[in-house]
Amino acid sequence: MFTTYVVVAVMTIVVNVGAAVADFARARLVVANAAEVGVPPSWLPLLATLKLAGAAGLMLGLVGVPFVGLAAATGLVLFFVGAVAAHVRARVLYNVAFPGGFLALAIASLVLGAAVPG
């Protein structure tokens, strides 16, 4: 079970760091997607920071501070529930799989992190 948790948590960390980098860089795709769902470009640095904080917290969970990892996974779950909700509210469903995938990884990190004795 621990190995599965590590693999899923590392995947979650990697995708969130990548997404945060794209947010900070104001990648064209990110800015366009944000505009479609009604998120102002001025929010991108904050959203990127939240993703990085979640990734850092998951990393701390992996290196021996499990309660921080669980808190980070919980924060990422809430973050991506909001992202999916923003897509649904704006009826931008053609790419809802992206935040949905991030949400699934965050949920898996939370469930597996809670199941691993720490």
Q: DSSP readout, 2-35?
A: HHHHHHHHHHHHHHHHHHHHHHHTT-HHHHHHHH
Amino acid at 46: L
Q: How far apart (Å, rounded) are the C-alpha atoms in residues 77 and 112? A: 13
Q: How far apart (Å, rounded) are the C-alpha atoms in residues 51 and 89? A: 21
Q: What are phi and psi of 20, to 5 degrees?
A: -65, -40
Given a contact cutoff of 8 angstroms between Cβ atoms, the answer to whether 4 and 109 are in contact is no
* pLDDT tens digits, 9-64: 999 999 999 999 999 999 999 999 999 999 999 999 999 999 999 999 999 999 99
pTM score, whole prediction? 0.95
